[in-house]
């Protein structure tokens, strides 16, 4: 084995544009470069910014040669794929476990049915757009996953979101407040919709606000898909019999 020296480039928090530009520059100079995100790089994270910057700068992007079975509808907007990446970047996005999946696993199973993910950060998005999304998600009875609920500077948005959701959903709706999921400092707090603003919430917190179907059992929350309404589950622990499970349920 050969020891590979690794160069680590880091920027402070909140320097996302700088950090991504530096990663792109490093790759263009001929180095392999990994841009690291917590969770999944494509869910509220840096993968999108790579595309934003490359598009603005006109940097061609290619998939690794190992990418198989890529079919695209011809639009005339894309160059032919090429192995010659001297004038562009070869980009591979490696998926991970997003905070919504890690947090859900700790809370129980809130996301086994339809859900919406909404960031409350209005630094890059107009608040009116965020309000509309919250209201529509509440009306449609989605389980709602809230990213970026509060920060030092953004203090009132979660309280406003709570009001908007309460207009369409029961005040006792179960809520899981998960901070630092799967990390040393992980913490789960269960509460209800009308009290969610009182929970301790930080930058690593993701909230899960139940739909009308979301239930509490023991110290877990879950959203049933309705199997046990459709199929008979025998009560009594010893039973293995189910009513009529011979149907597709997906």
**Beta carbon nearer to its own copies, 113 or 160:** 113
Alpha carbon distance 140, 35 (integer Å)? 36
> Is 113 among the residues that bind its own copies (CB under 8 A)?
yes
Alpha carbon distance 99, 81 (integer Å)? 34
- 120, 147 contact by CB (below 8 A): yes
> Is 166 among the residues that bind its own copies (CB under 8 A)?
no
- Expressed in angstroms, the distance from the first to the final Cα of the chain is 47
**Beta carbon nearer to its own copies, 22 or 33:** 22
Residue 36, number of CB atoms within 10 A of its CB: 12
Q: Kindly tell me which residue out of 33, 90, 96, 160 binds its own copies, with binding defined by CB under 8 A.
A: 96
> Is 33 among the residues that bind its own copies (CB under 8 A)?
no
Interactions with its own copies, residue window 121-140 (CB under 8 A): 121, 123-125, 129-130, 132-133, 135-137, 139-140
What character string, x for contact with its own copies (CB under 8 A) and - otherwise, covers 6-25?
Answer: -------xxxxxx--xx--x
What character string, x for contact with its own copies (CB under 8 A) and - otherwise, covers 198-237?
Answer: -----x-----------xxxxxx-xxxxxxxxxx-xxxxx
- Residue from 180, 182, 219, 179 nearest 201 by CA: 179
- Residue from 223, 217, 220, 150 nearest 190 by CA: 220
> Is 78 among the residues that bind its own copies (CB under 8 A)?
yes
> Is 192 among the residues that bind its own copies (CB under 8 A)?
yes
Q: Kindly tell me which residue out of 35, 44, 161, 209 binds its own copies, with binding defined by CB under 8 A.
A: 44
Q: Between the CA atoms of 225, 229, 232 and 236, what dihedral angle is there, to the nearest 10 degrees?
A: 80
């Amino acid at each position: 084995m050969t020891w590979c020296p690794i160069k680590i480039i880091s920027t402070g928090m909140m320097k996302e544009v700088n950090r991504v530009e530096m990663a792109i520059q490093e790759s263009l100079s001929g180095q392999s470069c990994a841009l690291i995100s917590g969770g999944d790089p494509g869910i509220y994270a840096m993968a999108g910014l790579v595309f934003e910057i490359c598009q603005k700068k006109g940097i061609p992007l290619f998939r690794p040669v190992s990418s198989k079975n890529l079919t695209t509808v011809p639009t005339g907007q894309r160059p032919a794929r090429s192995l010659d990446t001297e004038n562009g970047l070869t980009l591979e996005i490696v998926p991970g476990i997003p905070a919504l999946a890690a947090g859900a696993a700790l809370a129980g199973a809130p996301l086994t049915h339809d859900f919406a993910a909404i960031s409350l950060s209005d630094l890059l998005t107009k608040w009116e757009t965020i309000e509309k999304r919250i209201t529509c998600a509440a009306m449609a009875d989605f389980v709602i996953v809230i990213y970026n609920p509060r920060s030092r500077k953004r203090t009132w948005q979660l309280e406003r979101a709570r009001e908007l959701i309460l207009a369409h959903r029961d005040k006792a709706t179960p809520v899981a407040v998960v901070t630092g999921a799967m990390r040393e400092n992980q913490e789960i707090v269960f509460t209800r919709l009308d009290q969610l603003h009182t929970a301790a919430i930080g930058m690593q917190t993701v909230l899960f606000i139940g739909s009308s179907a979301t239930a509490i059992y023991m110290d877990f929350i879950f959203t049933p898909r309705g199997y046990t309404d459709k199929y008979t589950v025998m009560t009594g622990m010893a039973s293995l019999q189910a009513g009529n499970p011979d149907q597709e349920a997906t």
